[in-house]
Structure 1
C-alpha cells in the first residue's frame, strides 16, 4: 500500500471566529469608557465608574463562556479528525470520510480531550483575568484624570498635560485598552503579548495538539506506532526533522518519540507547521523517503 499523506488543515477560519469575539469585547469596553468620559459631574462619574467596572466583569465573563463553547467544538473536531487520519493513513479505510464516520471515542480518548480542554481554558482564562485587571486599572485612571480635568476647567484653568487629554479621546482610549488592557500574558522577560496574538497562538497550538493526540491514541489502540514528520522546506531548527520517521508513543525502539521532540521545542512548538503522517511500517516508504529519514536520524543521534 502507498504512503498516504493527509495535510494538516488550515485553522484560520476557526481562529478568526474566536478572535472576533475578543475584538467585539474590546470594542464594547471602549464604548462604555467613552460614555463615562462624556458624562459630567464628579458624583455621577464615580457612580458610573462602579457600574463600568461591573460591566467589564460581565463582558469578560460572557466572552469566556462564548469562547469556551467554540473551543470545545474545535478541539473535539480536531481530535476526531486525528483519529480518522490515523485509520485512513494506515489503510484501514478507503477514504478519509469513511474513516471519520467510524471514529468512536474510548475512555482514554475522552480523558485526553478533557485534559487538552482544561489546559486550553486555563491558558485563556488566565489571559482574560489579566485583561480584566488591567482594563479596570485604566477605567480608574481615566475617571481620576477626567475629574482633574473637570476641576481645572471649573476654576478657569487648562490642564497642561496634553497626553491626558489625548488619552480621553476615542483614539486614545482605544490605544490604551489595546496596549495596556488587552494583554494576554506578560512573559518572563517582561514582554507583553497582545491578547489577540496570544489567543491566536493558544488556539492554533491546542487544535494541532488535539489532532496529533487523536492520531496517537488511535495508533496505540490499533497497534501502530510509526509516523513521518511532514516536509515544508523549513528554515529554522525544524528543518533537521523533516522527513524523519518517529515513534508516536514510544513503543518502537530506535526512533525518537513525539513527546521527546515536542519537549525539545525545536519542532512541534507553538505556530509550528509540521504534522505527522502515520504509516503502517517502513515498507510503505520509497527508497528516497527512507534515505531522507536515515539522514535525519543519523544527524539527530549525533547532536
Structure 2
C-alpha cells in the first residue's frame, strides 16, 4: 500500500498544505495573506485569524490536486516550531483533530530542518555530509547535514538575520511590504558597485547584520539630507549595492566553512534563497570552487508544506510519531 502523508505548515503568515505519496510530492498549496501589506509587516494576531479561514480550503485543495481521498491519509505532519505561536497553534490543532478523527498518527516537524530537507524533494539530491546555508527573515545559519536528522549548526547570526536586513532596507527606502522581492527586483536594474557598505569582521562561521543595517540607515539619512530625491533617483543602485553586500557576507562565510570541512556538496535553503543575486552568486562560487550546488525550486524556498511532508515521510519510516498532547513551540531547538 502507498504511504500517504498530509502536511500542514502555518509558522508565520502562509497557510500551506501538501500531499506526499511514497516520498513523491503530489501537491503543494500555499495561501498567502495580503492583510499585512497595510501594516508593513506580519501582525501575529491577524495572521492566526486568517490561518483559521485558510486552513480547511488549503487542505481540501491539496487533497484534490493530489487526487487523494482524506480516508487514504496515513499520517499528518505539521510544523511544531519555530514560528508565531498563534499561527502554529492553528496548524497543530488542525493536524491533531484530523488525525484523531481518522485514528492515524501525527508527526512533528522542525521548521528549519524542513527547509534543509526540502532538497530531498525531487530527483537531484545532495549527498551526506553536505553544508546548507539556511537564510530567512528570522534565521541565518550554516548547517552541517550528516544525515536526515543528524544536523549541526556550525555558524549562525549573532543578532539579526539576513532577511531582516533586506526587510529593514526596504522599509527605510519606503518600499511596500513584502520588501525582499522588491529589493531583488530593483537590484536587477542597478549597479551593485555604486555604493560600498561594510562587511562585519565576525570570527568563525558566524554572521552579524545589525551593524550593516545601521550603516544603511545612516547612509540613506545623510544622503537624503543633501538631496531629498536621493532615494527616487538612485533606488536601483541602492538596492543592488545592499544586496551585493548581504550576498557577499553570506557566501564568504559559506566558503570559509566549506574549505574548513572539505565539503563539496553545498545547498541553499530558506525564504531568502529565492533572491536572484544569492542564487546566482552561489552558482558562480560553486563553479569557481568545484562545488556541487543545490538550489531549491522557487516553490520550496519560502514557507511551504511540501518541505514538511518530506520530513514527515522520513520520520514515518523511522516510526517517530508525536503524542496528541503535543503543543507548538515558538522557539524550537534545532
Instruction: Report TM bin, short chain.
Output: under 0.3
- Bigger Rg, structure 1 or 2: 1
Give TM-score scaled by structure 1 length.
0.24
Give TM-score scaled by structure 2 length.
0.23
Structure with higher helix content? 1
